[in-house]
Amino acid sequence: MKNENLTNHEKNSHMMMQWGQFLGHDMSMLSKEGFDCCHDAIKNLDRCFPIQIDEKDTFYSNFSRNCLDFTRSNHHCSKRFNMAEQYNMQTGFIDGSGVYGPNEETALILRGGNRRKGGRLAVNSKLSKFLPCNYDLQLRRSGLDQPTDFVTGDRRSEGQSSLTALHNLFVNEHNRIADIMYQVISSKNKLSPLQLDELVYQETRRIVTAQIQHITYTQFLPQVLGAGRSNAQGVDAKQSKYNPKAYPGIFNSFAAAAFRFGHSMVQSIFRGEEQPWKLGRFYGDSRFAFGLNGTAYKNELVGLSKQPCQKVDMYVSSQMTEQLYSNNQTEKGHGHDIVATNIQRGRDHGIPSYNTFRAWCGLPKINVISEKPANIDEEVWKNITKVYHHHEDIDLFVGGLAEQHVPDGLVGETIACILERQFLHTKASDRFFYSHSEGADIQPLRGLALNEVQGRMLSHIICDVTEIKQISENVFIQENVENGAKLCSEMKKMDIHGIANEIANNL
């Protein structure tokens, strides 16, 4: 096991990891049920695929554990291809589903149901600028739900405090824009309260979603893939054209393996501003987001922008491999392992080998296990050959993490290749993508709204919503690494009044 300080990234911030998780949840979610697949009575059922723990395991064997629970993903049988196909519970597009939900029913609930007004999203009755809870929305979704559980468009949003903080940021961004837009449009048009609510909500939602798309394609992906490569491959918002023949879904290799590269970037300790906390003690505990009367989330966001992320490599924090899903109430040794889960999920989904994807991405295939690929270091390859005895057995997740990084990027060639193809298809297949300039029936942003969104950065949203004094302008790069802190008062503000006037004049 390596010293975590030696695997810190020299340039990129922990916000890279956090945006990746927020984005990944927007694009995909497995359909599966929870079973105790280590239980003798069910472990051999088709729905179970438990992970056996070797008796020599250096951690779990100390606690007499010989099994990690694993439930297989739900699937349907494709008659066209005569094979099993897993479900995606999200839309597959980058459409802000974490903020608004993946369907109309959820969207209406998050607006407050019959009590919706002003185009706003519902907020907490006790914490005025925080996420609503089940009690506020009069929800009880399962027997395990508590009235105080927070509710967003994605049920995974309370996985850890920094993720909750990012969800809360965008709910507040929506309401900030909606309040101004409602005021301007209501003064110019005699719409009914219901009509005005719907108009303001939909127009605000378009702007917030466009900001998420813009940040992803112009700020996040260039750091992952390298800015030069990102632009050359068309994985940016400038070359934006709707293609109705593009695949409007998520590649299994992306969801079950390649985009999980971010698990290698997670730090053991999240260093929120003046509120550091250890991951393995606070899974599912969002106190560092809702603390300080609902304002602590801004400390998480500032901390993410300053703290380095881990490098993408074969090292993954012990908080993720030994204490996954653990908190202060979890008995020691009873956590889970994200790496084992990722490998098993790839096998559950029938993901082809790493070698197959090397060929698909134009890299030379490995012919024998003794043949080290040129883009994998000697020491790393030796460790791989200790585990795998045949070159075709190497899992995509493992082989992908093992590669040397592409120039100025965070990942190796194979993962970069899969990410490029996914994000190209995600953009091209979405006729509502904010920056499209060509294609039948496209619905992009236009006029002042498009111009204003194209000037936005994630730091601008953090400044506008939280009212902090300063932050690095590019929050994906550590402060003082090519990127000093900047006063929020000096950052460009979105002209919401102008956008609202333009909308009102076109009614």
- pLDDT per residue rounded down to tens, the chain (507 residues): 455 566 899 999 999 999 999 999 999 999 888 789 999 999 999 999 999 999 999 999 999 999 999 999 998 887 777 778 898 999 999 999 999 999 999 999 999 999 999 999 999 999 989 999 999 999 977 777 899 999 999 999 999 999 999 999 999 999 999 999 999 999 998 899 999 999 999 999 999 999 999 999 999 999 999 998 988 888 988 879 999 999 999 999 999 999 999 999 999 999 999 999 999 999 999 999 999 999 999 999 999 999 999 999 999 999 999 999 999 999 999 999 999 999 999 999 999 999 999 999 999 999 999 999 999 999 999 999 999 999 999 999 999 999 999 999 999 999 999 999 999 999 999 999 999 999 999 999 999 999 999 999 999 999 999 989 999 999 999 987 777 899 999 999 999 999 999 999 998
Q: How far apart are CA 68 and CA 389, in angstroms?
A: 23
Closest listed residue to residue 478, CA positions, set 120, 148, 12: 12
Half-sphere exposure at residue 366, Cβ-oriented, CA atoms within 13 angstroms: 24
> Which residues does residue 282 pair with via DSSP β-bridges, in sequence order?
327
Q: Which amino acid is at 249?
A: G
Q: How far apart are CA 500 and CA 178, in angstroms?
A: 10
Closest listed residue to residue 50, CA positions, set 255, 461, 348: 348
Q: How far apart are CA 112 and CA 472, in angstroms?
A: 35
Say whether pTM exceeds 0.75: yes
C-beta of residue 447 within 8 angstroms of C-beta of residue 458 = no
Give, in order, the Cα–Cα distances in Å from 105 to each of 102, 111, 353, 380, 495.
Answer: 9, 10, 39, 48, 31
End-to-end CA separation in angstroms for the chain: 62
Q: What is the pLDDT of residue 190?
A: 85
Q: How far apart are CA 24 and CA 73, in angstroms?
A: 17
Helices (H), 241-324: 252-256, 287-294, 297-306, 318-321
> Which residues does residue 79 pair with via DSSP β-bridges, in sequence order?
none
C-beta of residue 413 within 8 angstroms of C-beta of residue 364 = no
- The helix-helix angle for 458-466 and 297-306 (nearest 10°) equals 150
Q: What is the pLDDT of residue 2?
A: 55
Burial label, 286 (beta-carbon count in 10 A; 0-12, 13-18, 19+): buried
Structure tokens at 496: 């919401």
**271: enclosing H helix or E strand:** strand 269-272
Q: Which amino acid is at 156?
A: R
Strand, coil or helix: 487: strand
Q: How far apart are CA 158 and CA 139, in angstroms?
A: 16
